[in-house]
Structure 1
Amino acid sequence: MEGRKRVLEKLEYNKIIKLLADEAGSNLGKERIQQLKPSYKMEDINILLQETSEASEVLRLYPQFSIGGFRNIKPYIKRTLLGLSLEPENLLEIATSIGSGVKVKRFFEDLDKNYPLLAKQVHRIENLSGLKNTIERAITSEGTIADDASPRLKDINRGIADIKDKTKSKLQGIIHSTAMQKKLQEQIVTIRNGRYVVPVKQEYVSQVPGMVHDQSASGATVFIEPMIVVELNNKLKQLILQKKAEEERILSELSQKVAGEELSLHELVEALTNLDVFFAKAGLAYRLKATKPIINQNKHINLKRARHPLINKEQVVPIDFWIRDNITMVVITGPNTGGKTVTIKTIGLLTLMAQSGLFIPADEESEITLVDSVYADIGDEQSLEQSLSTFSSHLTNIIDILNNATDNSLILLDELGAGTDPIEGAALARSILEYLHNRGILTVATTHYGSLKHFAYNTPGVDNASVEFDIGTLEPTYKLLMGLPGKSNAFEISKRLGLDISIVDRAKEFMDSDEIEVGNLIQDLEQSRRQIEQDREEILKQKQEAEEYKEHLRNKYEKLKNRESQILEKAADEARNLLKKVKLEVKEIIQELHVTKQIQENQDRLKGLDEEISKTKKETVPYYTGERPKELRIGEEVFIPKLNQKATVLELVGDNGDVFVQAGIMKINVNIKDLRTVAQSGAKKENSRPITAMITEKSRGISPELDLRGYSGEEAIKAVEKYLDDAVIVGLGQVSIIHGKGAGILSRAVQEYLKSHPQVKDFRFGQHGEGGHGVTVVKL
């Protein structure tokens, strides 16, 4: 346990916890966060990460959301269970906490999407609005008992105010009387021991009948309660005592109500505390620009552009680091201050963060492997207390690590073998690495020893890495180069700093040929890497250009496809209209033939029925002659073949030939080409279909609601257009269009269309109980 605590401190996990606690909105949340430690169970870690994920999604959609100002009311609840009364400010904190719960519960009930883990906490919150309202009626926002907290208290306060007024009035009369002018030190009324008194000069005390209550420090002034107000002051004292007793009764009653909701209030506090922690984790993720890591159990680490969370994000250099493909160990080499220590700290800290349910500052799809513990030997381990040298202290720590680490641990070793003889240190370091490698323990080690580069290069399952150094500027770039050992740049640096070239060349002679060959090999690899990096950047650039061109072509294709659909739809509409027109003309011809046939068959019978014919003429209804009117006048009667209905012209709408007419109970727009003239004499219209029959038939299939969820913008507008036409025909005065909340795109498109619709009188979003902003209510 002590070793784990030391590792958390070395990797600065406690500083991450402090950052996390700063995101919490309550003291309880901060306290809960201080107890947060990495978990070593996959099931628990997945739940912790899902909590962060759900809270992050809510904050992304609703950045202004907060848990609210709830308090730690558990001690107050405990007091009520002991039969003790709470103070007004305690009760006010309880009401405030209940208010936070009510707000949170209402917020999540209005969300379209379900968040299971957040919902689990929200469901623990009961609606205690009744208790909240009771407290707030009795306790003011300043934390005092309200004057009208109960009917009796209201009466007592009214009596106190009345007596105070009477007492002050009597005393005002005394202090302003001529007889008292010279006897008073000042013409004021004050209070001593809860009773109204006047300040009398010492020499006149015997001349002012009343009770002495106090005197000034000098003795020159005596505060006397005149006898005329003694009785009033007595009544005032009694009322004040009654008020105190009533206030104590009110506090006791409210405290018992709190005790009666003990379990619900405990659940409220626990749920709000947990939610505060969830949203603190989400807030930290947003601040660090962190993402949800993938947790695996196959000893794979894959960090993409990972950043140390405690280094300024404007200065930190992201690293790509991986352990995969049967690799269990990485040896990192490179110059001092080049970023080796920061690299292994980043690996360890991000592992601890992920296993604590926190997002990590790395790109999407970064992976962390589940470990049962993280061990680290980092920094200056010199122990003054134990009189151990740096090397001895490091070695003591490493021995402890080797004794306690399991095959599922992660071990981080910084400058392994340093602090002693280089040859012995390198040999010892290699032996330790071989031991860890043979056990298959995930290990990341940094070193200066060149022999360990050979070990990493020649040992299967071990990989090299290095931190880059810029020879041109003689400064590290802090970039991590995976698969490439670091090269000693001592000779190059020496030459650039001005060391005589002959000295440098002589130094090279002291190196054996293998070391020189390895150095040249590393240099060649570095040049190849730089070329590959340049080629990679060029390929990425070309890929991006290709993607942009592909997107351009796709958009162009979509536009053409939409245009094609519009043309086909327009052609289909024209074909339908033509078919309707042909059917109508055929129907007219059939009707005319039918009439002609009847006239021929009944000609003989009609000759003898002149009177009946005259009567019939009076009862005939207009029929259309089949001619389209060239001009129309307001008030003129016309015939609408499509509806088989007579209409009256109300208004000439525009230059395109549209006419506003009234047909029965309907007022509609019709084009002049769809109208026929009306003659007042002629044959009686047969087989006409009453407009009321059409309305009745149409009304059977129309709902007062239209659900557009799942429609595209264009599909939705067409559906609304047809629906409103049908609604007008059947005489619906108000309809509801359901479009959902979402990003608001569909609701805006629908409401833009409604603005220009001639039959729409008004529209608005739904109110509470009507669907809120997910519904538009339309008046026709």
Structure 2
Amino acid sequence: MHERALGTLEFDKVRERMARYVACSLGRERMMSVAPFVSLAEAREELSAVDEALTATLRYGTAPFGGITDIRGSVQRARIGGLLSVEQLSAVAAWLAGIRALRQYVTRLPDSSLYPHLVAVVESLFPGRDLERAIREVIAEDGTILDRASPELQRLRQERRTVEARARKLLEQMLRTESQRLQEPVIALRGNALCLPVKVEYKNSFPGVIRDYSASGSTVYIEPRAVVEQGEMARELLLREEREIERLLLLLSQQVGACAEWLEVDVESVSMLDLWFAKAAYAKAEGCELPVLRDDAGWQLRRARHPLLAKENAVPLDVEMGENYRMLMITGPNTGGKTVTLKTVGLLTVMAMSGCFIPAERGSSVAWCEDIHADIGDEQSIEQSLSTFSSHLRNIVDMLRHVRRGHLVLLDELGAGTDPGEGAALAIAILEKLAAVGAYVVATTHYAELKAYAFREPLAMNASMEFDIQSLSPTYRLLIGVPGRSNAFAIARRLGLPEDILARAEANVSTEDRRLEAMIAEIEEARRRQEKALTAAELSLASAARMERELSEAQETFDRKAEERLQASIRQADEILRKARETAETVIAELREKQSSLKDHELVELKKMLAPVPRSDLGKSATRKQGGSSGGLRVQVGSQVKVHSLGQKGEVLEVSGDKVMVQLGVLRTKVDLADVEVLSNKEPLTSTSRVRGSGLDKTVRMELDVRGETVEDALQRIDKYLDDAVLSGLSRLVIIHGKGTGALRDGIRYHLARHPQVKSREPGGLGEGGDGVTVVQVRS
């Protein structure tokens, strides 16, 4: 892509803004060289990597780049065998610690499969833990050489400290004995020598070596003869210490040189990571979104903003081009935003092709262009004595030599700067040439001829920058499909130009121009009506959506409260059942004690009658009006009723106020009148018979259901059932056992065939259940 086009679009300023978010100089250097990629695949890969960095930043915070500096100079010096300083080696160690932290940040991201680009880069980084450890064993983080760096260094430093301690002890003694000849009682260090500040008048009588004078000359710093020997020893040890340190630094430099190739590769990788995270940080700060790069040509920018304008001040633009038309003719008043729109389309295209998020709504798409050509602004060259028209024309001539199919061409004020008629004709010819080549064109103009050209050319579309005639100011909104009006007469009339002058001016306008202006006015009026209708429809839709949401919330609240009431009723029913079971267990225990003739299987049957009612039935009964009746029947002695709290049917034996005594099988219990429902005031149904005897009063049904039971349990119930049937005088019974595998059916029929009380047995007839039931004739 031509650098001239990037400069015209001011892409360098966009790069400078994004560079504010880099973490180190490596990232800044890479950011300032950002440019459109050569291929669409590369640009898409870059956008995916930036999207990963943004996702990681939003979820887990900014990536750590602490300790990352430019170490390329140090690495190159070590590669050729040079000696690195303590600061350079410490920077290398900090670098290795920094990339380790960076690696940990990425590898510890939950679901690392979401970040393939980040993971691939950090996994390729040189671990360097051994090199970092080797440096830190010699150099502390504050840059000092550690005593433990080597046994020799530790020994030399210990000896030097011992010698200096002896010298200092001698000096402290002299401070007490020679205080009269000293300027002040302190020990001063001059160079590597420990000295005493002697008054200048005593310098010849004070034995020692003069090391320095004060600025005023009144004090002379003398190393006493008694400590000169100790000082010489200390200085010799210091020299040997420095040689040992140099040896250690050389060894570390050689280790860095051995890793130079990996470190240089790491520099490139880390700078790329810094670039990705900086682009992500810019996108986060500026409200940018991931663009869709299309290879089938086409721009769909939704609420796009110029990246150099403050987002709170920029007016969003909607731009479409490429699918139904390849050229967009933008007209409108001066300072109305035409050039800004032109640059917005160009800059957002460059940003997307450079792997950057764009300031537009998510889902905005940008066509991939192999090149962008731009002729924008007044480039009049005084030195070359070129007019504005000549300058623009020279740029266009150069552009036409290089433009190819699929290129994007941006033209500002096409044909301006010369005779309007000739300029318009030349502009149309240039547009026709670009259309023939197959380029995409966005052009701004004031010429009415270009508006007409866009009307008749299928590949072109008019657009305009909206102008508020009431306030005489632009709104900076781009209107696709609507050509702009000059508004010259309207503005002049609002500013007070006499009507007679306006009338003569309007008379001088050609009929065709007046017809064009009238047509544009009608289009604008139709657009305004459409916008009002659309606004009204959107408001109605929003109101309907709000009402639907409120209704849904009310329904949810109602359902929740109903469920809460149901659960409360179920809990209440559970409590009633619990108390009833406890009462029944007590009664059965008393019956067992008082009536020894009561059989065990009868007690089992009674307990089954007291089994908990299913929750679904409880839910229903909880909402049913208690104490109800069927057909308006009253509760009276002999009434067949259902006790809701126990889920059992029985006969009323006594009515006393709001209490009734009910016979439930062998169990008699007193319940609330409101807890019973009258089923019938007649005698028991013909399908049942009553058995009286042994102190028991039982209802025997004409059928017995044993489905789902084991053969042993079923036979035990059948024997008891046959006994009750004989006592009640029933001659025909029905046993329901189902079909299933046939084991229960065969076991029952085999047993009935040998039962002394069974006269005959046969499968059920048509309408009775067929082979799923057995009809039994009982001996009389």
Q: Does 1:156 align with 2:132?
A: no
Structure-1 residue corresponding to 2:435: 437
- TM-score for the superposition, normalised by structure 1: 0.70
Q: 1:118 to 1:554 in 2, by over 3 A?
A: farther
Q: 1:52 aligns with which of 34, 50, 53?
A: 50
Question: Quick one: structure 1 residues 581 and 247, their matched pair in 2 at CA, closer, same or farther if it must change by over 3 Å?
Answer: farther
Task: Please give the per-residue CA displacement for 1:78-122, whole angstroms capped at 9, x wherever unaligned.
Answer: 222333332121122122222222222222232212201111112
1:377 and 1:398 in contact (8 A); partners too: yes
Amino acid at match of 1:425: G
1:107: which partner in 2?
Answer: 105
Contact 1:98 1:268 in 2 (8 A): no
Determine helix, strand or coil for the equivalent of 2:2. Answer: helix
Q: What is the correspondence of 1:58-73 to structure 2 with a 5 Å cutoff?
A: 58-73=56-71
| 2:602 match | none
Q: Report the alpha carbon displacement of residue 450 of structure 1 after superposing the two structures with TM.
A: 0.7
* Residues in 1 aligned to 2:108 and 2:170: alpha-carbon distance in whole angstroms: 62
Please tell me the residue identity of whatever aligns with 1:245: R
Compared CA separation, residues 129 and 564, structure 1 to 2 (3 A): farther
State the shift of 1:216 in Å.
Answer: 5.5
Deviation, structure 1 residue 175: 3.3
Please say which of residues 579-588 and 544-553 is displaced more in the overlay: 579-588
Structure 2, unmatched stretches of 5+, are 588-780
Mean Cα deviation higher: 409-418 or 288-297: 288-297
Q: Supply the AA of the counterpart residue of 1:125.
A: L
Q: 1:490 to 1:157 in 2, by over 3 A?
A: same
Instruction: Identify which range, 259-268 or 4-13, moves more after superposition.
Output: 259-268
1:337 alignment partner in structure 2 = 335
Amino acid at match of 2:118: L
Distance in structure 2 (CA, Å) of the matches to 1:219 and 1:508 = 98
Contact 2:322 2:440 in 1 (8 A): no
Matches within 5 A, 1:198-597: 198-201=196-199, 204-215=202-213, 221-555=219-553
Over aligned residue pairs, what C-alpha RMSD do you find?
3.3
What is the CA–CA distance in structure 2 between the aligned matches of 1:558 and 1:258, rounded to whole Å?
Answer: 69
Residue 144 of structure 2 aligns with an amino acid whose one-letter code is T
1:694-715, CA deviations, whole angstroms, 9 ceiling, x for partnerless residues? xxxxxxxxxxxxxxxxxxxxxx
- The one-letter amino acid paired with 2:31 is I
Q: Is the 8 A contact 2:293 2:366 kept in 1?
A: yes
Q: What is the alpha-carbon distance in structure 1 between the residues aligned to residue 124 and residue 558 of structure 2?
A: 54
Deviation at 1:346?
0.5
Offset, 1:183? 3.9
Distance, in Å, in 1 between the alignment partners of 2:369 and 2:23 is 32
Task: Give the equivalent residue in structure 1 for 2:170.
Answer: 170
Letter paired with 1:159: E
Change (3 A) 1:494 1:234: same
Q: How many residues align?
A: 596
Distance 1:156 1:253 in 2: 19
Which one-letter code corresponds to 1:319 in the other structure?
L
Kindly provide the amino acid, as one letter, of the partner of residue 150 in structure 1. Answer: S
State whether structure 2 residue 84 is matched by structure 1 residue 79.
no
Cα offset for 1:353?
0.5
Distance 1:491 1:324 in 2: 35
Q: Could you give the per-residue CA deviations for residues 657-702 of structure 1, whole angstroms, max 9, x where no partner exists? A: xxxxxxxxxxxxxxxxxxxxxxxxxxxxxxxxxxxxxxxxxxxxxx
The answer for the alignment partner of 1:22 in structure 2 is 20
SS for the counterpart of 2:174 is helix
| The 10-residue stretch of structure 1 (238-247 or 47-56) with the greater mean CA deviation from structure 2 | 238-247
Runs of 5+ unmatched residues, structure 1: 590-780
Q: Is the 8 A contact 1:138 1:145 kept in 2?
A: yes
CA distance in 2: counterparts of 1:300 and 1:378, whole angstroms: 22
- SS, match of residue 303 in structure 1: strand
CA contact (8 A) 2:96 2:128 kept: yes
Q: CA deviation at 1:155?
A: 3.4
Q: Letter of the aligned partner of 2:79 in structure 1?
A: L
Task: After TM superposition, give the deviation of residue 263 of structure 1 in Å.
Answer: 4.2
Output the CA distance in 2 between the equivalents of 1:340 and 1:262: 53
What is the letter of the counterpart of residue 165 of structure 2? D
**Contact 1:299 / 1:328 at 8 angstroms: preserved in 2?**
no
- Determine whether 1:188 maps to 2:198: no
Shift of 1:551: 3.4
Q: Does 1:123 align with 2:102?
A: no
Q: CA deviation at 1:561?
A: 7.0
Conservation of the 8 A alpha-carbon contact between 2:64 and 2:98: no
Task: State which drifts further: 277-286 or 132-141.
Answer: 132-141
Deviates more, 1:417-426 or 1:70-79: 70-79
Q: What is the DSSP-based 3-state SS (H/G/I as helix, E as strand, rest coil) of the residue aligned with 1:86?
A: coil
Do the aligned partners of residues 570 and 452 (structure 1) sit closer, same or farther apart at CA in structure 2, a change above 3 Å counting? same
> Partners in 2 of 1:556 and 1:111 — Cα distance?
42
Q: Distance in 2 between matches of 1:581 and 1:106?
A: 63
CA contact (8 A) 2:90 2:143 kept: yes
Whether the aligned pair in 1 keeps the contact of 2:297 and 2:323 (CA below 8 Å) is: no
Residue 421 of structure 1, CA deviation: 0.6
Q: Is the 8 A contact 2:107 2:119 kept in 1?
A: no
Normalization by structure 2: what TM-score? 0.70
Match of 1:93 in 2: 91
CA drift at 1:456: 0.6
Is the Cα–Cα contact under 8 Å of residues 211 and 224 in structure 1 kept in the other structure? yes
Task: Give the partner amino acid of 2:428.
Answer: R
- Indicate how the Cα distance of structure 1 residues 246 and 419 shifts in structure 2: closer, same or farther if over 3 A, else same: same
CA distance in 2, matches of 1:425, 1:532: 35
- Change in CA separation of 1:441 and 1:575 when aligned onto 2, cut-off 3 Å: farther
Question: 2-side partners of 1:255 and 1:271: how far apart?
Answer: 23
Instruction: Note the C-alpha offset of 1:576.
Output: 12
Identity %: 38
One-letter amino acid of the structure 2 residue matched with residue 406 of structure 1: R
CA distance in 1 between partners of 2:569 and 2:102 (Å) = 54
Mapped contact 1:410–1:441 kept (Cα < 8 A): yes
Counterpart AA for 1:312: A
SS of equivalent to 1:176: helix
**More displaced stretch, 234-243 vs 29-38:** 234-243
In the TM superposition, residue 571 of structure 1 has moved relative to its aligned partner by 11
Structure 1 counterpart of 2:145: 145
Is residue 105–residue 122 contact of structure 1 (8 Å, CA) maintained in 2? Answer: yes
Q: Is the 8 A contact 1:299 1:442 kept in 2?
A: no
Q: Which amino acid aligns with 1:286?
A: K
Conserved 8 A contact 1:26-1:69: no
> How big is each residue's C-alpha offset from its partner over 1:2-47, in whole Å with a ceiling of 9 and x where there is no partner?
x811111111100011011111010000001111111241101101
SS of residue paired to 1:23: coil
Return the alpha-carbon distance in structure 2 between the equivalents of residues 580 and 321 of structure 1. 73
Task: Give the Cα separation in 2 of the matches to 1:423 and 1:219.
Answer: 92
